[in-house]
Amino acid sequence: MHTLGEITEFIDAKLVGDPSIKINGIASLQHSNSNQLSYIVNDKYKKDLISSQAGVVILNESLLADCPTNALVVNDVYLAFAKISHYFKKQITHQAGIHSSAKINNAKINTTCVIGENVTIGNDSVISPNAIIEDNVTIGDNAYLYPNVTILQGCSIGKNAVISSGAVIGSEGFGNARDDQGHWHTIAHLGNVVIGDNVTIGANTTIDRGTLEDTEIHNGVRIDNLVHIAHNVIVGKDTAIAANTGIAGSTTLGKRCMIGGMVGIVGHLNICDDVIVNAKSTIDKNIKNPGTYTGIMPLMNHKQWQNVGLWLVKLDKIVEYLNIKLKNLKGN
């Protein structure tokens, strides 16, 4: 827990408020309480600022008049947030064996595993050799973790989960802020990963924890090998994602989607239910209508892509035809 006076000094801010107030965590504007810090980067979230219950908000001078609570005024909000986020990041020291506070029920746990403080593992679950399960993790009944799986602090895994070797659940998200000298400052990600029931996760897949809110994988999802799911992504019920796909932060996939191999999905997008994306496509805009899409060139409806493809394979013949026409025109 830190006082506003300490936080103000650490991020070199101007405090408008009471320096003795104590802050015990960070949360979004919508979900923060009077003991938590939040931040706002632009006018897009002004409504959330006005209604926020946060104890203090990091903002710039232009939004100060709209702040209903204590304020930390800075020039670069994102950089200030990056610096202060590490104040509230708990570091875990791994200890071999099963912590005395862990509740393992009748789970089968290999002796080479690390099971942290306040971990709960459901009935009939199997934890294979060299798995690491950090503090405050919950795993449901009948889960099966293959060797070398890592579940980082605070994450939640539903029942009947199957997680293959080398998967990492709850890794740090890729968030960085740049200062005036061009140096990067890493943002500590304080959210978790919440995985529903009947989910399978392939080998060497990585699912990043959320920045403040959670990354969510809903019931029945199927994730192949070597998939990367970034911070704050939401994957809807019964969606399937093939190998080598990358989904950037804060994107939402709907229910029953099918994402082909090597697909790239940029951040902050919304993809509706029942969408099929063909392999190697790039999704760079929202998808509002169910259907099959191909985006090797700019994303378009699949039928439209088929028509474009027909013209692409004929380009050499079209050029030849135009050259003949041009010669004939010059001859005349």
Residues marked active site are found at 231
- Residues 36 and 130: their CA atoms lie apart, in Å, by 37
DSSP run (H or E) holding 308: helix 302-312
Short-list 226, 276, 277, 234, CA closest to 253: 234
SS (H, E, C) 34-58: CCEEEECCCHHHHHHHHHCCCCEEE
Residues 6+ apart with CB under 8 A from 317: none
- Rg of the chain over Cα atoms, rounded to whole angstroms, equals 25
Output the six-digit token pair for 83.
């610096």
Short-list 90, 180, 174, 96, CA closest to 136: 90
- Residues 244 and 280: their CA atoms lie apart, in Å, by 9
- Residues 188 and 82: their CA atoms lie apart, in Å, by 7
Say if CB 117 and CB 98 are below 8 A apart: no
- Residues 313 and 307: their CA atoms lie apart, in Å, by 11
Short-list 6, 96, 111, CA closest to 56: 6
Say if CB 278 and CB 293 are below 8 A apart: yes
